[in-house]
Structure 1
Amino acid sequence: MRFKGLDLNLLVALDSLLTERTLTEAARRINLSQPAMSAAVSRLRAYFGDELFAMKGRRLVPTSRAERLATPVREALLQIQLSIISHYEFNPTESHRRFVIRLSDCSTLVFFQRVVERVSRDAPNVRFELLPPADDHDEFLRRGEVDFVILPDSLMSSAHPKATLFEDRLVCVGCCTNKQLSRRLTFERYMSIGQVAVRCALTRKSAIEECFFLEHGLKRRIDVSVQSFSMIPSMLLGTDRIGMLPLRLVRHFEKTTPLRIVDLPFSLPAFTETVQWPAFHNSDPASTWLREIILQEASCIAPPNESTQASSPSKVGQDVSSPTPPCDRIPLDTP
């Protein structure tokens, strides 16, 4: 079927080519033979009067014309899918919807497991695919390849709707036997102590702590690099190394891991964890349903001043609001 001279099936082929960047994978994605996909490329070139793709090795490199077509083609196909093909009354108890969500291990452990638990009761057939954060999460959102992204607000895009979930802050953590934390932790000693730090996939946008060190031209002594925050506590045990963790994640581990917690000897702002979703999902009833659950569960999380006592110049790092064992919380002004 043609619309103003364009076979609309060619838009599906073009979107697949722009996504996969190889002829073979693009053909497989939409169940076409390779000769049929080659024919589609020829017809696309004829219609748009542009080569659209050049070969570099085995990869397809889009021309500037093809790159300009990428967003409107994807948005048109997604709008058709959401408004015409998939328009339905969403019934959570019967749905087999799979939600793709990109978030950190920290957000998974301290928050999203609550969402999964609730959904398992209300919609037992709904499935989740939880993936790590990525540099190009904006692109995943734009192409509709992810339902939600959960990250600190400073890393979010301005091109899609978002909502605040909860606040957190970073603290210094070490093993309960760490002699370095048995007395006042100065900035100089902090910088000299061996550290366990995260080296994650977010290379284009630095994490909060990295921004601080980059801004001040400082370099920490990192002895061990790990893939995620949740790996830090076990790497601290039995050593005099320290790590930097979100306070809520420390609260998660403190029940089973003997840690010593102190505030950092320098000022870092609290950060806000945020959820973001593709703009065109605003009209998707399944997305709206899960979004409401996410926000409801976030509203049940205690604010930071209920998780730890507010710091003061004379009693920084103390906590009297929750049981002490197995963590040993010490004031930074302890001699």
Structure 2
Amino acid sequence: MPDLRRLDLNLLVVFQHLLELRNISAVARRLDLSQPAVSNALRRLRTTFGDDLFVRTGQGMLPTPQAERLAGPVAEALGLLDRLLEADEAFDPAGSTRRFCIAMSDVGEIHFMPALMEACARRAPGVRIDSVRGGAELRRDMEAGRVDLAVGAFEDLDGDILRRMLFRQGYMTLFRKGHPQAHENMGLKAFRAQQHLIVSRAAPYGQINQALEAAGVLLRAHHSVPHFTAVPHVLSVTDLLATVPAKLAAQTASRFDLQMMVPPLRVPSLQTNLYWQRRFHRDAGNQWLRGLMVELFAQG
């Protein structure tokens, strides 16, 4: 590692933006520098750390393993310096116009967004909340500050990502009122004989489909939708059954005139967590939003 007395902190800023953008020209535009200036900074970084750090490929300037190892500590160090240099670290929700971004699934939006937006309307009327899906770049988006929080069951978020459990939940099976065969406490044989609505792409809820298959429900023999949003609409006008997270069932059953039952399946309960980047652990706005999420949704 280099002697810190000889390290220009401006080089670390260039390093962090190269990690995010992976393009020298894009970094130059963002930092209002010339392209030769960014290239020179990269040369100095390579000399300082004794590693190429970024290698030009068809996918852009990809980081080396050494650069990946440096990413977390550099982001945390720069984040700490940013906070130390801020003129006012206080966050006043009542007067703030800050926009926050939270990664969640479609079923998460159904559960979290109404209550969260209602609370913001009362306590922080100028604050705005955006929800996004947590894709392959979620870790990088959180590190860069483009996503403030993630909420759900993102099993691959670790390392510099901190977490707090909000709740655990099981699953319920929904069906329309007046269904000719479905009823509370129906057995596995009768359950298996029904037509089911399969939710095919709703990660991380694949364990529902695994349990259905283990019980003898052949998934490809049934109707499917990619996400949970359409499920109550479909069930309200058909004789299909759908097994969904318990909180979604509770929120949609009465609204769509549906009934619920405990499915005759063995499905592990699902743990829902709140995630944030270590870099923003002490950010006052992030702390406020985390506290609000815990107040509104944490159980146990």
Calculate the TM-score normalised by the size of structure 2.
0.82
Q: CA, structure 1 residues 206+214, in 2 after alignment: closer, same or farther (shift >3 Å)?
A: farther
- Kept after mapping to 1: 8 A contact 2:174/2:253: no
- Give the SS at the match of 1:181: coil
The residue number in structure 1 matching 2:231 is: 232
Q: CA, structure 1 residues 257+215, in 2 after alignment: closer, same or farther (shift >3 Å)?
A: closer
Deviation for aligned residue 1:264: 0.8
- Give the SS at the match of 2:230: helix
Deviation for aligned residue 1:15: 0.9
Q: CA, structure 1 residues 199+134, in 2 after alignment: closer, same or farther (shift >3 Å)?
A: farther
Identity %: 28
Q: How does 1:101-112 map to 2 (within 5 A)?
A: 101-112=102-113
- Kept after mapping to 2: 8 A contact 1:196/1:222: no
Moved more, 100-109 or 30-39: 30-39
- Kept after mapping to 1: 8 A contact 2:94/2:124: yes
The residue number in structure 2 matching 1:92 is: 93
Deviation for aligned residue 1:78: 1.3
Question: What are the Cα deviations for residues 104-163 of structure 1, in whole angstroms up to 9, with x where unaligned?
Answer: 222322234212211122111112121123355445444544222111486764754433
Is there any run of 5+ residues in structure 2 with no aligned partner, and where? none
Q: How does 1:246-325 map to 2 (within 5 A)?
A: 246-298=245-297
- Give the SS at the match of 1:294: helix
Q: Give the number of equivalent residue pairs.
A: 298
Q: CA, structure 1 residues 153+23, in 2 after alignment: closer, same or farther (shift >3 Å)?
A: closer
The residue number in structure 1 matching 2:182 is: 181
- Kept after mapping to 1: 8 A contact 2:253/2:259: no
The residue number in structure 1 matching 2:76 is: 75
Instruction: State the one-letter code of the partner of 2:109.
Output: T
- Give the SS at the match of 1:118: helix
Deviation for aligned residue 1:170: 0.9
Instruction: State the one-letter code of the partner of 2:274.
Output: V
Is there any run of 5+ residues in structure 1 with no aligned partner, and where? 304-335
* Separation (CA, whole Å) in 1 of partners of 2:31 and 2:206: 38
Q: CA, structure 1 residues 196+289, in 2 after alignment: closer, same or farther (shift >3 Å)?
A: same
The residue number in structure 2 matching 1:150 is: 151
Calculate the TM-score normalised by the size of structure 1.
0.74
Q: CA, structure 1 residues 57+155, in 2 after alignment: closer, same or farther (shift >3 Å)?
A: closer
Indicate the RMSD between aligned Cα atoms, in angstroms.
3.3
Q: How does 1:6-155 map to 2 (within 5 A)?
A: 6-85=7-86, 87-135=88-136, 137-152=138-153
- Kept after mapping to 2: 8 A contact 1:24/1:34: yes
The residue number in structure 2 matching 1:322 is: none
Question: What are the Cα deviations for residues 180-207 of structure 1, in whole angstroms up to 9, with x where unaligned?
Answer: 52697443554564433334474xx664
The residue number in structure 2 matching 1:169 is: 170
* Separation (CA, whole Å) in 2 of partners of 1:159 and 1:180: 50
* Separation (CA, whole Å) in 2 of partners of 1:162 and 1:40: 35
Deviation for aligned residue 1:231: 1.8
